[in-house]
A and B are shown apart, each in its own frame.
Chain A
Amino acid sequence: MTFIWAFIIAGLFCALGQIILDNTKLTPGHVTSLFTVLGSLLAFFGIYDKLIDLAGGGATGIISNFGYMLYTSALAGYEEMGILGIFSGMLTKSSTAIVGSIVFASIVALIFKPKD
């Protein structure tokens, strides 16, 4: 069942993004930022947790999960050590994605030449 929901949830987010792209003047940069903020908003209302339970990789594999991870790790940081924890804990979960993209992008940029 999780597989079907993974397809549906990820598909719906992408379809929503496409509707925004087609009907407004917003660029892909706007849309990805918007979906990240949407992710932290959904996390704030406790909806994103339910989406992850339901769709697994369908919910953790999209950019909104970045907003969700930022929100949840900042909150966990606050619960552990107060206001300072918001600052020190914010990036704990999303570190994997940020460091991963920095390392892999640097490696491929060193090895490959841009194609045009």
Chain B
Amino acid sequence: MNKEEYQKLVKKYEPKENKFQNVVYAFLIGGLVGFITEGIIVLLMNFFNLSRMIAGAWTCLIVIFAASLFTALGFFDNWMTKSKAGLLIPTTGFAHSVSSSALDYKKEGLITGLGSNFFKLAGSVILYGILSAFILVIVRVIIGG
């Protein structure tokens, strides 16, 4: 068997990921998360007479709490894999990455394990978010005078 034949054979048995189906999944689940988030905001606004801004902040906390709890209960990892980007792009993805690294590295000690790995995945979000916002505000200030 030469190299080309081997490549063909490998391609034949490679599991085919249906890219279109993945995108549809991500759209539907991500959309559902957006829908539920808006639902919680409206509920809080009506029940507690909160402004949209305050209700939004509470909703953010509720979503983060739910994602952390579900991660700890063990079934959220499975959901994350199945939903593709549908749970990754919403705030749930951020909360999941923090709580899963907190859970995973706890056994390696409070400082060298939990402490130094806490933001292992979410750290780049914070770092590049702050850097890009900083640069853009500087640009805005220079343009806007």
Question: Do A and B come from the same complex?
Answer: yes
Measured CB to CB, the residues of A under 8 A from B are 2-3, 6-15, 17-19, 21-23, 28-29, 31-33, 35-37, 39-41, 43-44, 55-67, 70-71, 74-75, 78, 86, 90-91, 94, 96-98, 100-102, 104-109, 111-115
Q: Which of A64, A70, A114 contacts B103 (CB 8 A)?
A: A114
The contact of A63 among B61, B71, B89, B107, by CB within 8 Å, is B89
CA–CA, A8 and B128, complex, Å: 26
Interface residues of B in 20-58 (CB under 8 A from A): 22-42, 52, 56-57
- Contact present for B136 and A109 (CB under 8 Å): no
Residue of B nearest to A96 (CB): B57
User: A6–B118 Cα gap in the complex (Å)?
Assistant: 31
Q: Which of the residues A28, A60, A65, A100 comes within 8 Å of B88, measured between beta carbons?
A: A28
Majority SS at the chain A contact face? helix
Interchain CB contact under 8 A, B31 and A14 = yes
- How near does chain B come to A20, taking the closest CB pair, in angstroms? 8
Counting residue pairs across A and B whose Cβ atoms lie within 8 Å, the total is 252
By the criterion of a CB under 8 Å from any partner CB, how many residues of chain B are at the interface?
Answer: 76
Does B73 interact with chain A (Cβ within 8 Å)?
yes
> B102 to A105, Cβ gap below 8 A?
yes
Say yes or no for B129: interface residue by CB 8 A criterion. yes
B124 touches A29 (CB 8 A): yes
Residue from A57, A94, A109 within 8 A of B37 (CB atoms): A57
- Check: B126 CB closer than 8 A to any chain A CB: yes
Knowing A29-B124, A97-B91 are in contact, say whether A2-B134 is a contact too (CB < 8 A): no
**Of the residues B56, B106, B114, contact of A60 by C-beta under 8 Å:** B56
Q: In the assembled complex, which residues on chain A have CB atoms less than 8 Å from the CB atom of B36?
A: 57
B residues neighboring A (CB under 8 Å) = 17, 19, 22-42, 52, 56-57, 59-61, 63-65, 68-69, 71-74, 84-86, 88-91, 93-95, 97-99, 102-104, 106-107, 114, 118, 121-122, 124-130, 132-134, 136-141
Instruction: Looking at the assembled complex, report how far the CB atom of B131 sits from the nearest CB atom of chain A, in whole angstroms.
Output: 8
Nearest-CB distance from B103 to chain A (Å)?
Answer: 4
Residues of A within 8 A of B63 (CB): 61
- Tell whether, in the assembled complex, residue A67 and residue B133 are in contact, meaning their CB atoms are under 8 Å apart: yes
Q: Do B37 and A41 touch (CB < 8 A)?
A: no
Contact across chains for A56 and B41 when beta carbons are under 8 A apart? yes
Q: When the two chains form their complex, are residues A10 and B33 in contact, meaning their CB atoms are under 8 A apart?
A: yes
CB of A94 to closest CB in B, whole Å: 8
